[in-house]
Every structure is written in C-alpha cells, then in structure tokens.
Amino acid sequence: MKLIYPAVLRRNTDGTYTAYYPDLEGCCVTGNSLDDCLEEANAAALLWIDTELNEFDGELPPVSDPEDIPLEEGEFVRIMSLTYRLTDGWDE
C-alpha cells in the first residue's frame, strides 16, 4: 500500500536535521544529515502506521494539505511516499 504524508523538516543549529509528521501524532526523528533524517523519518512513519493498523483502531489519519501546515522560521515541508507492506514475506 502506498501512502503519502507531508513531513516538516528543519536544520538544527548543530547541523543535524529534525523531521516530524503533523498528521502522525508523536512521530518525530533527528538525523545527522538531511538524507539520514529522511531515512529515519520514513522508517518512523512506517512503524507508526504499522502500530496504528495492528494495535489500535486501524484507521489512519487524514492527510494534511501541505499549504495548510503552519511552519516556523527555517522549516520546510517534504512530501514523503511510504510503502507499507500488507503481508509478510513478499519481496519487491
């Protein structure tokens, strides 16, 4: 299943990056570089989605329009494409 959620990113004063998903409550990561942060954000979102689908009510939150997300100075939005596997053992 392909899911698309916006992530908000910012460069921290120490050179690291932080990302969070406004639609996925509490889903936030930090990485040493932008690429590292994007990888961590992808993995964290997939884990969040897996937990929501398998341990809670199984409903995913609606996706925010990136233009409606309030940003602080230095933040930017990146649209993240997430591939969630519905079955185990299937290889792409």
Which is more confident, 90 or 71?
A: 71
> pLDDT (tens digit, 9 = 90+) per residue, 28-85?
999 999 999 999 999 999 999 999 988 887 789 999 999 999 999 999 999 999 998 8
Kindly list the structural domains of the chain, giving each domain's residue range(s) and its CATH number in brackets, ordered by start.
2-83 (3.30.160.250)
Report the 10 Å Cβ neighbour count for 83: 10
> Residue 92 — very low, low, confident or very high, per pLDDT cuts 50/70/90?
low
CB neighbour list of residue 37: distance below 8 Å, 6 or more residues apart:
9, 16, 17, 18, 19, 29, 30, 31
- Flag whether pLDDT at 90 surpasses 60: no
